[in-house]
Structure 1
Amino acid sequence: MTVTLREVAAAAGVSIKTVSNVINGYAHISARTREAVEKAVADLGYQPNLSARGLRSGRTGAIGLVIPDLKNPYFAELAGSVMRAASQHGLAVFVEQTGGDRAQELAVLASPRMRMADGILFSVTGLDQADAATVAFPVTTVLLGERIFGAGADHVTMKNVEAARAATEHLIELGRSRIVALGARPHEVSGSAGLRLRGYREALEAAGIPFRDELVVDATPWHRADGARAVRELLAAGTGFDAVFAFNDTLAFGAMRALGDAGLGVPRDVAIIGFDDVDEARYSMPALTSIDPGRDEIAETAVRLLAARIGGDSTEPFVLHEAAFRIVTRESTGG
């Protein structure tokens, strides 16, 4: 039998309206009342009827998360962080993948499924700044990532330039001077690769180390195989290097495999730092030093901003939030 709001209210000793307020995440509920209602919901196994709720309120209690690729560990872990944050606001999450393709990003925004969501968290990689004035969001949207700033939405991102500079400086402090920028796209400016390359260059310049074109390596699309292939090509070409700044962790994992296959030690011969601090980094052999870009902060901030816009609790101007980062030092750089 389906459990009703009336049954939950009776079990908690409160009104049906109070139960509804708790389930819908209203803030002005005492901790004692909220705890009683949540216990009754859990004990009875109550499941909200999203269709009925949507008909009454115009809201479904669900948000969309649009990301490039769940096979990328960063985005898989970001999705987990978003779901945990959303649950704190009484929101469910459904995920759409775009493959980072511009046409697919536009198709997802235009899809009827997105119009069923109360709001969208949209990690953009295909669209760019030229689309800022024309892109249309079907519902309240918070943007993630490094593209289409100023597009009429709150925007949550990471400090790519500063974090990349810190990663490169970490390698320089170890005495390394021929540092590969693995995953760079030399002609990109606004995306993750372009911003991380800028931070890399700034660190070299500050240390008085020459920038070398042969050490800037495109390894699209940032999977393990791409990192391994790029490093094997460097070794085959006889390019000398003593460190690698991989623009994401999966590239670093591929690079470490290629170096191991060549009989080179990490960090003895080549020190490696990655970017994203995915869970696998602490279990790789050797454990990977990486930049933690503030993934949980990004998820929690984006969900909070979206929930406030959806609920009508925020009429403030759109904000840009940059999450804090840190270096997590492990074995691949001698930690």
Structure 2
Amino acid sequence: MGGVRLQDVAALAGVSMKTVSNVVHDYPHVSDKMRTRVQAAIDELGYRPNLMGRRLATGRTGLIALAFASVEIPYFAELARVVSAAAHRRGYRVLLEETDATLDGERAVVSSSEAGMVDGVLFQPSTMTSQEIAQHRSDLPMVILGEGAAPLSIDRVMVDNVIAAHEATAHLAALGRTRIGFVGHERDGLSATSVQRIMGYQRALEEAGLTPDPALLIASEAVSAAGAVAGVGAAVDGGLVFDALVCRDDLAAIGALRALRERGIAVPGQVAITGWDNIHMSAVTFPSLTTIAPDLTALAERALAMLEERISGFGGIGRHEIVGHKLVVRESTGQPE
């Protein structure tokens, strides 16, 4: 029904406009009985809050944007689920925006394209430089996610990729593996993610008394499972010898599993494998994947808390914070003896 107003819902439900507003904004102090009554009136009338009207009345729309490369990447799909749930608890809805990891797509996120639509943005960049991000619209509150470019003027929440990659590699070294490769980084131009993970990988090798070998860096044409299948397959067919693989992410690990299985190489018997992200499917691959599990709940909660502070007027220097992670050991590596 077009033109349904908040007062129409209030009249049908027999409550005040304030009560309807409290239900719409999901305020916790509304009783379950009253919430059900008001929601029934909302559903019957087909009422939808007017975002522009809300912005004029309160200065806010109740929407925030979450921008990242692609929802086809399982990590981002799971990030979106966690952020949406956390935002809902804070009274926000989340608008997903895919950038396709292109410069134009990312520039659109930090430009005036979001003017008037959202109260703030959580943004995981893949392409933009720190300097360019710093020049974004200052009146659009923003928090950067991940290990990409992040100017000192903007808040950022991330996992320590260097330490996490070090832990995964050290786990493999503790198993007695001595030819440990790294799989899945970009063939043409390393992302910040790959740079940091390779750095942690190299440090762990050196601490274990192993000499880093550039031949063991197995790149992909694209950051994908298919890219890893091709990369690992070509490496094996070309005679490269390794007994363990640190994979840039779980998709690369899944691709490595397939490439090795196709060639009759046992995991973890002949080659141990670690992934990264702890996506849901990592627990049900065969064998199940040992993987780095970022604390997505902590990341979402901290990022949203910072964004709310920015929305409310906080204008201090950017706060760069690290949330936790853990190494989840499964069948693809096994436990050290």
Task: State the Cα distance separating 1:301 from its structure 2 match.
Answer: 1.6
SS of equivalent to 1:228: helix
Tell me what 1:91 maps to. 92
Task: State the Cα distance separating 1:272 from its structure 2 match.
Answer: 0.5
Tell me what 1:210 maps to. 211
Task: State the Cα distance separating 1:298 from its structure 2 match.
Answer: 1.4
Distance 1:156 1:226, change over 3 A: same
Tell me what 1:180 maps to. 181
SS of equivalent to 1:184: strand
1:44-70 Cα shifts (integer Å, max 9, x gaps) = 446533232123223211111110111
SS of equivalent to 1:65: strand
Tell me what 2:57 maps to. 56
| Alignment of 1:119 onto 2:120 | yes
Q: Matches of 2:9 and 2:133 in 1, distance apart?
A: 49
Q: Matches of 1:137 and 1:74 in 2, distance apart?
A: 29
Q: Does the CA contact (< 8 Å) of 1:3 and 1:45 recur in 2?
A: no
Q: Matches of 2:117 and 2:134 in 1, distance apart?
A: 24
Residue identity matched to 1:303: L
Q: Matches of 1:233 and 1:249 in 2, distance apart?
A: 19
Residue identity matched to 1:333: T
Q: Paired residue for 1:4, among 3, 6, 13?
A: 6
SS of equivalent to 1:245: strand
Residue identity matched to 1:331: E
Identity, in percent, stands at: 35
Q: Does the CA contact (< 8 Å) of 1:12 and 1:36 recur in 2?
A: no
Question: Which blocks of at least 5 consecutive residues in structure 2 are unaligned?
Answer: none
Task: State the Cα distance separating 1:72 from its structure 2 match.
Answer: 0.6
Q: Aligned-residue CA RMSD in angstroms?
A: 2.7
The alignment of Structure 1 onto Structure 2 pairs a total of residues equal to: 329
Q: Matches of 2:11 and 2:197 in 1, distance apart?
A: 53
1:207-228 Cα shifts (integer Å, max 9, x gaps) = 1111001001222422011110
| Alignment of 1:267 onto 2:268 | yes
Residue identity matched to 1:183: G
Residue identity matched to 1:255: A
Q: Does the CA contact (< 8 Å) of 2:23 and 2:39 recur in 1?
A: no
Tell me what 2:144 maps to. 143
Question: Which blocks of at least 5 consecutive residues in structure 1 are unaligned?
Answer: none
Distance 1:208 1:185, change over 3 A: farther
Q: Does the CA contact (< 8 Å) of 2:126 and 2:191 recur in 1?
A: no
Residue identity matched to 2:151: G
243-252 or 16-25: bigger deviation = 16-25
Distance 1:198 1:43, change over 3 A: same
Q: Matches of 1:174 and 1:6 in 2, distance apart?
A: 68
Distance 1:44 1:304, change over 3 A: farther
Distance 1:241 1:8, change over 3 A: farther
SS of equivalent to 1:331: coil
Distance 1:328 1:6, change over 3 A: same
Tell me what 1:331 maps to. 331
Distance 1:108 1:149, change over 3 A: closer
Residue identity matched to 2:215: E
What is the TM-score normalised by the length of structure 2? 0.87
Q: Matches of 1:284 and 1:255 in 2, distance apart?
A: 12
1:97-147 Cα shifts (integer Å, max 9, x gaps) = 112122321133335345421111111110123435434456111111223
Distance 1:24 1:33, change over 3 A: closer
Q: Does the CA contact (< 8 Å) of 2:110 and 2:136 recur in 1?
A: no
| Alignment of 1:243 onto 2:240 | no
Distance 1:247 1:69, change over 3 A: same
Q: Matches of 1:5 and 1:206 in 2, distance apart?
A: 68
Tell me what 2:299 maps to. 298
Q: Does the CA contact (< 8 Å) of 1:181 and 1:245 recur in 2?
A: yes
Distance 1:131 1:32, change over 3 A: closer
Distance 1:134 1:33, change over 3 A: closer
What is the TM-score normalised by the length of structure 1? 0.88
